[in-house]
Amino acid sequence: MDIILIFISAAIVNNFVLSYFLGICPFLGVSNKTESALNMGLATTFVMTLTAAATWPVWTYVLVKFNIPFTQYVAFIIIIAALVQFVEMFLRKSSPDIYRAMGIYLPLITTNCAVLGLALFMVLRNYNYVQSIFFGFGTGVGFTLAMLMMSGIREELEFADVPPVFQGISITLIIAGMMALAFMGFAGLIRG
């Protein structure tokens, strides 16, 4: 039961992008086309799930056991960087088109604050291993959801009559604000 709660909490109620404002740069940068937004979301979900799966053992069996929790940022960043590198190799081999469409935003997952934020929240909230994996996966799903909604709206926006001063990034940020406002409706449904 608590696994489902953690998943829904991470994906919708406490959505990392729209409630915590983490991982905004790909949210604005890669959301102009639904296809690349979906691929970015999937890649980030993959990295997030693996991050949760890899950082939890390192945290529990290395950092806590040897009493060196002060190295957590370094350890987590190294793990995240290695995972992103792996995703990049994998994508380059399996689908070069997606690799090209994501461009610089793919390596930027390394410093995506949502991914590090996920690892830190996981430690802070004392999740066990299964909970951590579902937390990571839920966060990724929430990120993908936000990306998809944004890209859908932005694609429709191409045909809308936007006043000249709002065109481009300003209307995008206004929409992001409205989406965050809409997600405020979920606030408080689930704790944590």
Partner 1 sequence: MTGDIVVISVASMGGIGAALSLFLAYADKKFKVEEDPRIEGVLQILPNSNCGGCGQAGCRMFAEAVLVGKVPITGCVAGGQAVVDGLAKLLGVEAQKANKIVAVVLCHGGEKEALKTGIYKGEKTCVAANFTSGEKACSYSCIGYGDCVEACKWDAMAMNDNGLPVVFHDACIGCGACARACPRFIIEMHPIEHKLFNYCRNKDKGAVARKVCKVSCVACTLCVKDCPQEGGIDMIENLAVLNYEKCLQDTDAPIKRCPTKCLLYGEEEKMTKAFYYASLKKPAA
Question: CA-CA distance, 92 to 86, in Å (whole number)?
Answer: 10
Indicate if the alpha-carbon torsion angle 57, 41, 16, 5 is positive or negative. negative
Nearer to partner 1, 164 or 185 (CB): 164
Does position 64 interact with partner 1 (CB under 8 A)? The reply is no
Give the shortest CB-96-to-partner 1 separation in angstroms: 8
168 exposure class (CB count in 10 Å sphere: 0-12, 13-18, 19+): exposed
Indicate if the alpha-carbon torsion angle 120, 54, 76, 57 is positive or negative. positive
Does position 125 interact with partner 1 (CB under 8 A)? The reply is no
Give the shortest CB-97-to-partner 1 separation in angstroms: 11
Does position 58 interact with partner 1 (CB under 8 A)? The reply is yes
Nearer to partner 1, 50 or 147 (CB): 50
Does position 164 interact with partner 1 (CB under 8 A)? The reply is yes
Among 68, 130, 173, 174, binds partner 1 (CB under 8 A): 68
Residues 6 or more apart whose Cβ sits within 8 Å of residue 10: 16, 134, 135, 138, 139, 141, 142
Residues 6 or more apart whose Cβ sits within 8 Å of residue 52: 118, 119, 122, 132, 133, 135, 136, 137
- Cβ proximity of 52 and 138 under 8 Å: no
Q: Is 188 left (phi over 0), alpha (psi -120 to 50) or beta?
A: left
Token pair 């959505």 in the structure block, residue = 15
Give the shortest CB-69-to-partner 1 separation in angstroms: 10
Q: Dihedral, CA atoms, 188, 137, 120, 20, nearest 10 degrees?
A: -40
Give the shortest CB-39-to-partner 1 separation in angstroms: 17
Does position 75 interact with partner 1 (CB under 8 A)? The reply is yes
Does position 158 interact with partner 1 (CB under 8 A)? The reply is no
Choose the binding region for partner 1 from 15-23, 28-36, 84-92, 170-178 (rule: CB under 8 A). Answer: 84-92
Does position 66 interact with partner 1 (CB under 8 A)? The reply is yes
Does position 85 interact with partner 1 (CB under 8 A)? The reply is yes
Nearer to partner 1, 58 or 148 (CB): 58
Q: Residues interacting with partner 1, by CB under 8 A?
A: 58, 62-63, 66-68, 70-71, 74-75, 78-79, 82, 85-86, 89-90, 92-93, 96, 100, 164-165
